[in-house]
Amino acid sequence: MLQFARRVGRAKPSAIMQVAENAKRLKAEGRDIISFSIGVPNFLPGEHVYAAARDALAHDSGQYGSNRGSDALLDAFLAHIAQVGLSGYTRANCATGIGAKHVLYNLAEALLEEGDTIAFPVPYWTSYLDIAEILGANVELLPCPASQDYKLTPAQLDAALAKKPRVFLFNNPSNPTGMVYSKAEISALADVIARHPDTWVITDDIYNRMVFDGVGYHNFVHARPGLRERVIFVDSLSKTYGMPGWRVGFMAGPESVAKAVVTLNSNHITNLPEITTAAAVAALSGPQDVPQARCAEFQARRDQVVAAFAAIPGVVCPRPQGAFYVFPDVSVAFGKTHAPSGTRIGNDVELCNALLETKGVACVPGSAFGEPRALRISYTCPAPQLAPGLQRIREFFAELS
Ligand code: PMP
């Protein structure tokens, strides 16, 4: 009998995409659906990005390019990260990939042998688990429930790093929680990391431009510059510039790590396309008014979503300070029945299904992120849908008994 490699069986299809597919199906059936499910920005990059892509198309060489990324792209990325205080890196510290997801996959391939441990906080972005499982790595999950604002404590990190995992993977601002670590919190975690020299640290910080309330973005290398010897910063154009489909991601870190990623690129993809590269350079070095305006808009939407959940008795909703997600703990609903439909709500998946079927609102069950007490709201829907969507959720909870 013909066999698949075992790693294929370990990879699961994305739970987020499944919710999005269900919502799409109901919409096609004529239902009025409001989607809070998929984490895509609701804006396009500025006209200068399209102009650069058109110009590149007119002058495209059609040749293979650099495995690392073009010099112009690397320089634009270096200038971009210097704006958030990540300076002192050179092109040799950087590599590019087909989105941050691909960069993360390359990093995991470069740093983890089968059976090595990668540790990361829960809730986590879904692909972390899948990437580790495809590669046959052991996963050490560090639970961070709503009662601790979904944030990792220095004591938890200390205990985890004492076991010498090969990689510690950190995500700030967080998908799915939207939580942002303060300067003091990052500094305390950086002190712990400094005491444990046997672990690589990946900071997946692709939402670093989407930070609210003036808290700012902080990285371990800001707190402890010496950590740049083993901290790898990951960034992407997807969320910041409204360019998820263009597929451009980056890393900045030790030269040895960048070199390993470049070698993997030379075998996996060869190079980013020339047209994409031109668009990416334009996004990084052109006017920044689109991302700035959107960040202000997301902050206002955050307030609206948090206020809606705060008004539901028993729901615990930590207040995010970044990205475009809210992650309320809705476990108060479990064991109850939605009276009008007679649906019993046993867990997060049943809650999301009932919300979709009865109110036409799509959310992602928290179990997709390792936290089955919660659900994730992505609030990038068209503006007129936000208030009605939240109103439907409030009604749903009021109808539980
Ligand atoms: N990391 C996190 C935390 C994300 O939320 C996402 C996208 N949802 C990615 C990485 C992947 O981003 P990209 O589109 O650049 O592959």
Quote the pTM value: 0.97
Element (H, E) at 265: helix 255-268
Q: Where in the chain do CATH 3.40.640.10 domains reside?
A: 47-285
Q: Whose CA is nearest to atom 12 of ligand 1?
A: 100
Q: Is 175 in the pocket of ligand 1 (CB under 6 A)?
A: yes
Look at residues 39, 73, 9, 19 and name the one whose alpha carbon lies nearest to residue 275.
73
Q: Is 35 in the pocket of ligand 1 (CB under 6 A)?
A: no
Please give the distance, rounded to the nearest whole angstrom, from the Cα atom of residue 181 to the centre of ligand 1: 18
Look at residues 172, 203, 181, 239 and name the one whose alpha carbon lies nearest to residue 38.
239
CB atoms within 10 A of CB 163: 12
Please give the distance, rounded to the nearest whole angstrom, from the Cα atom of residue 267 to the centre of ligand 1: 22
CB atoms within 10 A of CB 12: 13
Please give the distance, rounded to the nearest whole angstrom, from the Cα atom of residue 337 to the centre of ligand 1: 35
Q: Is 376 in the pocket of ligand 1 (CB under 6 A)?
A: no
Residue 267 pLDDT: 98
Q: Where in the chain do CATH 3.90.1150.10 domains reside?
A: 6-44+290-398
Residue 54 pLDDT: 98
Tokens found for residue 320: 């995010």
Q: How far is CA 76 from the centre of its chain?
A: 22
User: What is the Cα–Cα distance from 197 to 40, expressed in whole angstroms?
Assistant: 36
Q: Is 249 in the pocket of ligand 1 (CB under 6 A)?
A: yes
User: What is the Cα–Cα distance from 45 to 43, expressed in whole angstroms?
Assistant: 7
Residue 394 pLDDT: 98
Look at residues 214, 137, 120 and name the one whose alpha carbon lies nearest to residue 171.
120
Spans of the chain below 70 pLDDT: none
Residue 41 pLDDT: 87
Ligand 1 atom nearest to 248, measured from its CA = 15
Q: Is 123 in the pocket of ligand 1 (CB under 6 A)?
A: no
Please give the distance, rounded to the nearest whole angstrom, from the Cα atom of residue 248 to the centre of ligand 1: 10
Residue 278 pLDDT: 98
Over residues 335-373, the pLDDT tens digits come to 999 999 999 999 999 999 999 999 999 999 999 999 999
Please give the distance, rounded to the nearest whole angstrom, from the Cα atom of residue 207 to the centre of ligand 1: 9
Q: Whose CA is nearest to atom 3 of ligand 1?
A: 175
Please give the distance, rounded to the nearest whole angstrom, from the Cα atom of residue 126 to the centre of ligand 1: 10
Please, what is the Cα angle at 384 between 378 and 386, to 5 degrees? 30
Q: Is 101 in the pocket of ligand 1 (CB under 6 A)?
A: yes
Which of 107, 180, 238, 240 to probe ligand 1 with, by most ligand atoms within 8 A of CB?
238
Please give the distance, rounded to the nearest whole angstrom, from the Cα atom of residue 239 to the centre of ligand 1: 8
Q: Is 204 in the pocket of ligand 1 (CB under 6 A)?
A: yes
Q: Is 243 in the pocket of ligand 1 (CB under 6 A)?
A: no
Helix (H, G, I), strand (E, B) or coil at 115: coil
Please give the distance, rounded to the nearest whole angstrom, from the Cα atom of residue 292 to the centre of ligand 1: 19
- DSSP letter for 93, please: G
CB atoms within 10 A of CB 184: 10
Over residues 141-158, the pLDDT tens digits come to 999 999 999 999 999 999
Strands 375-378 and 364-365: antiparallel
Are residues 249 and 103 in contact, defined by beta-carbon separation less than 8 angstroms?
A: yes
Residue 175 pLDDT: 98
- Arch. (CATH architecture) of 47-285: 3-Layer(aba) Sandwich (3.40)
- DSSP letter for 123, please: S
ipTM field: 0.99
Selected from 3.40.630.40, 3.30.360.10, 3.90.1150.10, 3.60.110.10, the CATH number assigned to the domain covering 6-44+290-398 reads: 3.90.1150.10
Please give the distance, rounded to the nearest whole angstrom, from the Cα atom of residue 206 to the centre of ligand 1: 7
Q: Is 121 in the pocket of ligand 1 (CB under 6 A)?
A: no
Strand order in the sheet with 364-365: 325-326, 375-378, 364-365
